[in-house]
Each structure stands twice: as structure tokens, then as C-alpha cells.
Amino acid sequence: MHGSYVRLDSVQVQNVSRLWSETVVYPDTVFTLSQSSISEIQDIPADIVAYPNPFNGTANVSVSVPQRSDATLQIFTLAGQEVAQRTVILEAGNNMFEVGLQKTQVYILAVTTQMGRSTIKLINRGVRSENSIASRGTCAVFEKRQCGHSFLNGDDLKIIGYATLGGTVLLSNTIQQPQRESENMSLYFETEGALRGVFSVGTARYVCFSQGNLQYTTLGTHAVAGGGTEVGSWRFATNQWDLMGTANRDISPSNTGWIDLFGWGTSGWNNGNYFYQPYSSSDSRNSPYTGSNGYGYGPTDGSLYTYSLVGNYANADWGVYNAIGNGGGRPGMWRTLTQSEWDTILYYRATASGVRYARATVNGVGGLVLFPDNWDVSTQAFNRINSNSLFFSDNLITLAQWVILENAGCVFLPANDMRLGVSVDCAGYICEYWSSTSESSARAYDMGCYNNGYLGTHDPEVRYEGLAVRLVRDFVCDDE
């Protein structure tokens, strides 16, 4: 997964040249190919591994040496300025250190022993109060896995990683190359339909956004939570700026077109009282397609009127109940942000650069850009970031520029406006996205962003309004 770090379950190493395969299982993180024909490995002064790398201010560093040795650890900027130094005695095997760095930039870590000097690059995307190198003794996390198969310098190796995210086993990208020297390799895990950026939503809790707004059609069938299938199909928009606009005026059970504005809690789940259908189009509390007190109200006795789309009512969340065709294809992989999580993303999360959001126009569509936790401000200049007093037009982003920004983890929430009954306002003036949090028996919270005006989550909307839905996937960020 781009933008953060996940613990590997295992790494498979295949020697394509010699037709053998071995698997490294956690906690082994270094795979050593040792055979007399590659004795040059034994001549490396120190084997250095940094984890994570890139990192957010602090990284763990393992320095492995074949014999006890005096050593000097130094950290330099790319301009050659030394920012930290430590003189130590390295024991034979793995020696653990913690590195802290002040600035967001690339550094060089050099380890000098009696056998010579080894270096690696450190990519810092966070901020610490001082530059430091602290000893952490020895640690088995970085133990080597010894390979007994035949290997020659220059053999063609294929590397594939496996990790578990949200109960799903994911395969990484494949690295295949002739192997001639010791090196660090980065493996990336992609969740279908998920963007690269990682966003804090609470203490040690992170999410990735879906690739586009949620869309629905009555055509086809899809799997649902609890087993079985239901009529209709769900998907994420292909591009982040895609909107169905006036197509939402045709909303009805017989409409076979795609829609992307939904009443609150209209996942299609039947809780034993009402079906909260995605094509509900009432402009009042009584919906012609859900019965009285629809849109997530709960039983008519009123005892559950204010339940949010969590817990016993989680299936009223579009992403929990439904399989998303281009989002992994099974229920329970996605969910809607809570009101407090929207607040954290907009106002409270700590980012590498202090930047969280900016209004912008992307490929001709106005809306709100969210910057990931590790955003590098040098990627693209934005006007008046973290500010309510600007227009969508104050940051004009071309398609070519957006490709770079999206690859850097940015999320774009297009100005979708809203639907009342079959009346749709498509003026491109307001972004309104549902949260999973109820405010009262009649209203639920949304994330609202106006062009040069209000931005926040404290202006609840009536549940029968048709608003946009942008789902997220929980992401386990393991920096241990």
C-alpha cells in the first residue's frame, strides 16, 4: 500500500535462472544468499537495513557485522552536511538503533568499521525536534534467513511479498531483476479501488479513500453481507472528478442508469422493518420506496431513531453491506467515515508538512483536495491551504498536474451538490458527503464544503436528501 507501511507475512524469493524458490516468514526481514561463488557478500563492511524507509521522522536501523568492531555512524544531508554522529562498538550480528531526523528530506547514513564503509539512503517525510542516533541494543526482528540453494552473482531473482490487510491476503508488486549486490527493496500492496494516500482518522487509526464517488444501477446483481445476492450493481467512479449530475433526476426502481446521490443509510439492507433502497427519492420524511420513517430511521416505536450506521445498524452503511464491483468484489471491505473522522481529516491530524486540505478545480471540476499525512509541499504549490476563505477557482489543476498529485496520494472530492426528490441542483457550488453519524431522528451529519464559505461537519442534513458517498478502507499502519 502506497503511503504507509504494513508488516509482511512472508516474502517469496524465486531464482528464475536456477528454478528454485524459498520463502522468508516474518520476523525475518533480510534474505541472505550465501554460497562460495558469491563470497563478495562476506566483504560488505556492514549490512544496513532501515525500517520503515521512507519514514515519518523516526526509523529503526539494523546494522549487521560479521565480527565485533569499533564503528562510527554518521548521517549527512545530500549536500554533505553532517547532522548526527555516534561512535559505538558493534557486536557480531545485528545491532539496533533508532534514528530521528528534523527535516523532510533525503539523508545518507554511513557506517564505518575496520573493514570499511557502508551507506544507505534515508527518506524522511516527518519532523522531529532533533537529529539523533540512539542505540537500542540487539533485536531478532532483523534476523537473516539463510538460503541453502545454489546461487550465482547475476542470477535472475523474482521477489513477491504477502501481507494481510483487513482480513484479506494481498500480493505485492513483483520485482524481477538480476541480483548482483546487497540492496533494500520496497514492495507495494494495492487494494482494488483504493487510492494511494493514507490519512489519520484517530490515534493509530488510518484509512485510504476509494478511487471515486460511489455509484449504483438497478442492473445486475451483487453479493451482500450475510450471504446471498441482491438486485443492482455498485461501483466506484473511474476518476475522482466524475459526477452523474442530472442523471440522478431519473432515480426510481425502474431506472437502469447510474446514480451517485443517495439518501442517508440507503444501502439496500432490510433490517426487518424497512428496505433502505439506494433509489429512494422522497423529498419528505415518508419515502415511496422505503415506507414511512425510511432512510435509516429504525422501528416506528422510535427507540432506535438516532442509531448511526455502526454496530447493529452497520449494514445500513453502503460499503459494509454491499460488494463493490471494482472495489474488491465482496461485502465488508469499505465503510463511511464518522463525523469525528471527517473532523480529524480536516482539522486535527498531524501531517508531515502541516497541510491538510485546499479548495481547487481539478480537470475543470470544482471541489476539495485532501492531502495525505506524508504530503510533500514541493510536489505542487497551492494557494491558501487549510483556509475557508478561497474559491474552487483559486487553485486550477490540470489533468497532467492531477496525475502527479494523485500518485502522491491526494484525494479530490468534487462538488456534487444534492438531490431533493427528483430535483437535482448541479451548480457545482457545494460538496456534501454523508458521514455514518446520526444527529437526530430526522437528520445526519455530512461533510460540507461551499465555494468560498462553510467547511465542516456540524451542519446536519435531513436524511432524505440525496448526497454523495465516498467510502474508505481501514488501513493497518505498522511502524514497529
- Statement to judge: residues 169 and 313 lie in one domain: no
Question: Do 412 and 403 form a contact (C-beta atoms < 8 A)?
Answer: no
Q: What is the pLDDT of residue 305?
A: 47
- Answer whether residue 168 shows pLDDT above 60: no
With residue 402 as reference, give the H or E element that holds it: helix 399-407
- Statement to judge: residues 57 and 95 lie in one domain: yes
- Statement to judge: residues 249 and 169 lie in one domain: no
Burial class for 46, CB neighbours closer than 10 Å (0-12, 13-18, 19+): buried
- Statement to judge: residues 170 and 309 lie in one domain: no
- Statement to judge: residues 265 and 121 lie in one domain: no
Burial class for 394, CB neighbours closer than 10 Å (0-12, 13-18, 19+): middle
Q: Is residue 245 part of a domain?
A: yes
Please report, for the domain that includes residue 93, its CATH number: 2.60.40.1930
Q: What is the pLDDT of residue 300?
A: 37
Q: What is the pLDDT of residue 165?
A: 57
Q: Out of 146, 178, 210, pick the residue that ends a domain.
A: 178
Can you read off the three cell numbers belonging to residue 339?
463525523
pLDDT class of 129 with cuts at 50, 70, 90: confident
Q: Is residue 187 part of a domain?
A: no
Q: Out of 127, 151, 178, pick the residue that ends a domain.
A: 178
- Answer whether residue 182 shows pLDDT above 80: no
185 or 109: which carries more pLDDT confidence? 109
- Answer whether residue 367 shows pLDDT above 50: yes
pLDDT class of 292 with cuts at 50, 70, 90: very low
Distance, in Å, from the CA atom of 295 to the CA atom of 298, rounded to the nearest integer, reads 8
Using H for helix, E for strand and C for coil, what is the string for 45-78?
A: CCEEEEECCCECCEEEEEEEECCCEEEEEEEEEC
Can you read off the three cell numbers belonging to residue 391?
474559491
Lowest-pLDDT range of 120-129, 173-182, 235-244: 173-182
Number of domains in the chain: 2
**Dihedral angle over CA of 305, 311, 312, 316, nearest 10:** 70
Q: Give the range of the structural domain holding residue 14, as residue numbers without chain letter.
A: 10-178
pLDDT class of 285 with cuts at 50, 70, 90: very low
- Statement to judge: residues 153 and 206 lie in one domain: no
| Interval 113-128 mean pLDDT | 86
Q: Is residue 5 part of a domain?
A: no
| Interval 375-387 mean pLDDT | 88
